[in-house]
Amino acid sequence: MTAKNQFLKRLQARHSPPTFSSKHQADIAAFRQQMALLLDNMNAWLTDTALQAEELTVSVTDLLVEEGAFAIPGIVLSYENRTIKFIPLFLYGQGVIGCVEVTLCTGNNVTRLSRLFMRAGQVSAWTLNQQRDLSRPGELFDEDAFFRLINVLLP
């Protein structure tokens, strides 16, 4: 084994994944991590637009979680007097893990656009559901879906 391989093996052993005392704690950590990655993806998608998604801290209350309430990063994207907010709503519910409500704010008006799910059923990628009927499958939340969603920023 080379010196580099020995070093990498020792380094990897020191960076073992965190352990959690409950499934709730692991799911909350995953929700936080996925929201941070979603923010990074949005900012990468927004390259060359002069727009930037920003993080805000949201307190989520979930009666199915031992702690009752926990902080999760939300996301805000603004253009002129219009803002789209990606606000975490709950961790568990309706066959999904990690729900984010997407709203358009213009002045005093708030319009619900859709919901994003971190995991829905057997799908473990962000999905977008623009219908109130959650029994229908959502679409994969990728760059195209993102730009279709934020198109309402431009009046």
Contact 59, 99 (CB under 8 A): no
Cα Rg of the chain (Å, integer):
18
Which range, of 21-25, 62-66, 81-85, 138-142, averages the lowest pLDDT?
62-66
Q: What is the mean pLDDT of residues 74-94?
A: 92
Residue 2 confidence (pLDDT): 76
Residue 104 confidence (pLDDT): 95
3-state secondary structure of 12: helix
Q: How confident is the model at residue 56 (pLDDT cuts 50, 70, 90)?
A: very high
Contacts of 106 (CB under 8 A, 6+ apart): 81, 82, 83
Contact 112, 129 (CB under 8 A): no
**Residue ranges of domains in the chain:** 22-153
**Long-range pairs of 49-58 with CB within 8 A, sequence gap ≥ 24:** 51/77, 51/78, 51/79, 51/153, 52/77, 53/77, 58/87, 58/88
In tens, the pLDDT along 104-130 reads: 999 899 999 999 999 877 777 899 987
pLDDT averaged over every residue in the chain:
86
Q: What is the mean pLDDT of residues 82-90?
A: 95
Contact 34, 73 (CB under 8 A): no
**Orientation angle between helical segments 23-45 and 143-150, nearest 10 degrees:** 70
